[in-house]
Amino acid sequence: MAFYDYSCRECDFVFEIRHGINEKPNIVCPRCGSSKTFKIVSSIGIIVRSNRAKSFVMDEVKRETDKREELRGMGIENVVPMAGVTLDQVYGEIKRQGSAVKEKMQAGREENENKRIKRSREWRKKALRITTERAKIRQEKQAQEDYIKRSIRL
């Protein structure tokens, strides 16, 4: 038997019910009595009670952290394995391919930096063109105002 979180569609009340995993209970809101409820997807907690199991889990976490640190040292920043692939497999593949992966990532970084610089230059050109156009418009308006002032004095 496990605890499941439910929410009422009528009064937005969140409550907890205990039932079997294969059970399909008819859940009724304890606050308003409505049967319009739905199950909320929630996280689970895992308790490891064995010292041997704890040390195994902690060692695995430490190994994974060490591998990520080593990859960062090689210049590979963010490693996110795809579905069905473990970090060990990714790490082994990177180690086998060696510098090819590092060079590919460096080339990607350089390409992104070049794109950023190009966008920045285009933006500056556009901004400069807009400011020169605005300056011309401002000068024309000022010339018209000056003309009007002079014509009133005459």
Asked if residues 20 and 27 have their Cβ atoms less than 8 Å apart, the reply is no
Residues 56 and 92 reside in one and the same domain: yes
CA 137 vs CA 123, 124, 127, 132, 143: distances in Å = 21, 20, 15, 9, 10
19 close to 25: Cβ distance less than 8 angstroms: yes
- Domain membership flag for residue 88: yes
What are 116-135's pLDDT values in tens digits? Answer: 999 998 888 888 787 788 88
The whole-number pLDDT of residue 55 equals: 80
Say whether pLDDT at 109 is over 60: yes
Domain residue limits at 56: 51-97
Mean pLDDT of the chain: 80
In the chain, the percentage of residues whose pLDDT exceeds 70 is: 85
In this structure, the answer to whether residues 55 and 35 fall within a common structural domain is no
Report the predicted TM-score, pTM, of the whole model to 2 decimal places. 0.31
Same domain, 62 and 83: yes
Residue 75, domain member (yes or no): yes
Residues 59 and 88 in one domain: yes
Q: Which residue has the higher pLDDT, 61 or 115?
A: 115
